[in-house]
Structure 1
Amino acid sequence: MSTPDWAEWHAEHERTLADPHGFLAVTSLNFLDATPRRFPDAPGEWATGPSGPFVVLQSGESLTLDGVELTGRHEFGVLPERGGVFPVSGDAVIEVARRGGFDVVRPRHPSNPLRVEFHGTPTYAFSGKWQLNGRFVAYETPRDVTVGAAVEGLEHVYSSPGVVEFEALGTPLSLTVFNGRTAGSFFALFTDETSGVTTYAANRSLAIDPPAANGTVTLDFNRATNLPCAYTDFATCPLPPAGNRLPVAVEAGEKIPYERVA
């Protein structure tokens, strides 16, 4: 990836972040239990039980899901971990999801000031020295890895197919990786010596393309990105595995968002 390619990639990344119903539009994070509750930024009374989350909509209230208007009581069914649905309410969507074993409701309003006032994320300048070669080393069988979360008391479990070994600034390093969005790809959650100084303290994420036949991969730390918790307290982002705390300063990728600078 060259400087112009990186600039185009990052511009698209920020457009996605600032989507009208993206994470910058989230106005609250609500953990459901058996007691029906009403939230100021979503219609209906919400609760969850053995059959999954449900909403009870009063007269004059409705949601739309997959083009179908919902009224009265609607059950969303048992949701898979990291799954969810997005019924529509006016110009907002009401995310109903399962995170860390809990059912949550997370309204997303395009008019949220965090989204409206967003003007980009500071980054390090693109540098070819942070495009590193590595090698994927697969486990005999994938391993479940439990990590913490940005929300205290919450945990996430990810399946890890193996580790990526590489060298940076003369130091041999490795990262536990998880399965990525596309077949054969990975992502790594990590911190480094810049974390809490120039980059967000809790985590950054690095997408890694599928390895070549001989296991080689490219780690382009220019594409190290913040997770949503870097911008909003209404995110349940996973934290890096303990072994992914790199003892070098990765001066590449996204920095602490303007919104988090004191």
Structure 2
Amino acid sequence: MTTQAETTELQAFTRDWLDWYRAQEERLAGPHGFLAITGLHWLDDRPRRFPDAPGSWRTGADGVTVILDGDEELVVDRTAVRGEHRFGVIPDRGSVNAVWGDAVIEVARRGGNDIVRPRHPTAPLRTAFTGTPAYAPDPRWVVTGRYVPFDEPRPTTVGAAVEGLEHVYDAPGRIEFELDGQPMSLTAFPGPAPGRLTVLFTDATSGVTTYAANRVLTVEPSTADGTVVLDFNRAANLPCAYTDLATCPLPPAENRLPVAVEAGQKLPRERGGS
């Protein structure tokens, strides 16, 4: 029999998960989120125009340059620019957002390549979005593990959602844990803030009820003895689960879990999920 205290705890757990889930959806479907992307344009030294962005774009040793026509304007760092504008050399995985009317023109570098990726609030993928299916949150998928740092960060090359593209991350360590009584480990990459970790993985649900290529889990900093918590209820889709206009990294080979992690976000409806 479930006690009142257990019921209250489960309700709080579910509320916290719902807050996380709603924040994920808001970022994804915001006016300039990933669902608003209308094109993925790869730059080279040939000036080219694109149907969803102003100006003529090219890149070279000095970085990305756009030449705007007389009636065209971008706002970069809150400053209106016309004519020729040099974005300079953008670091890998870096980006600059330029405002064009109600759109944002993302200028970025991915896998050693410069790209222009416009984001329009009226993009059909965004306006038709009805939400991401997900498993019901369940405390059994909250797993305690141990973070084992490497002696030195290990440069780790992984594939990408875009064929032929590669990403390189300095993996600081791995996380050891058990699922269904089986010992497992996951190579971790640096997270969105100091001390936090990012884990890319697939499992036995991948390509069945969840997106085939990857899911991602953010792990909070470890305690002094290396203890970490893996909450698989918060296993999230990366943008490539929704659109082909994303360059998301794939998990390293060792991060393919042999068990079915029936937790977190499921295959999006945009990819045939239900």
TM, length-normalised to structure 2: 0.94
* Structure 1 position 47 matched with structure 2 position 58: yes
* Cα distance in 2, alignment partners of residues 233 and 71 from structure 1: 31
* Cα distance in 1, alignment partners of residues 27 and 70 from structure 2: 35
What's the % identity of the aligned pairs? Answer: 62
Cα drift, residue 159 of structure 1 = 1.0
- What is aligned with 2:151? 140
After TM superposition, what 4+ stretches of structure 1 lie above 4 angstroms from structure 2? none
* Cα distance in 2, alignment partners of residues 50 and 4 from structure 1: 50
123-132 vs 9-18, which moves further: 9-18
Aligned letter for 1:176?
T
Give runs of aligned pairs for residues 1-262 of structure 1, distance below 5 A.
2-261=13-272
Deviations 1:75-100 (CA, angstroms, capped at 9, x unpaired): 10100010010000000000000000
Larger Rg: 2
* Cα distance in 1, alignment partners of residues 220 and 63 from structure 2: 35
Consecutive unaligned residues in structure 2, runs of 5 or more? 1-11
Aligned letter for 1:65?
V
* Cα distance in 1, alignment partners of residues 159 and 102 from structure 2: 33
Cα drift, residue 113 of structure 1 = 1.0
Cα drift, residue 171 of structure 1 = 1.0
Aligned letter for 2:204?
E
Count of aligned residue pairs for this structure pair? 262
Cα drift, residue 219 of structure 1 = 0.1
Cα drift, residue 203 of structure 1 = 0.3
Cα drift, residue 62 of structure 1 = 1.0
Consecutive unaligned residues in structure 1, runs of 5 or more? none
Aligned letter for 2:196?
S
* Cα distance in 1, alignment partners of residues 65 and 216 from structure 2: 33
Cα drift, residue 190 of structure 1 = 0.3
Cα drift, residue 59 of structure 1 = 1.0
Cα drift, residue 252 of structure 1 = 0.3
> RMSD value over aligned CA atoms?
0.8
123-132 vs 3-12, which moves further: 3-12
Query: What is the SS of the residue equivalent to 2:88?
Result: coil
Aligned letter for 1:31?
W
* Cα distance in 2, alignment partners of residues 166 and 14 from structure 1: 29
Query: What is the SS of the residue equivalent to 1:2?
Result: helix
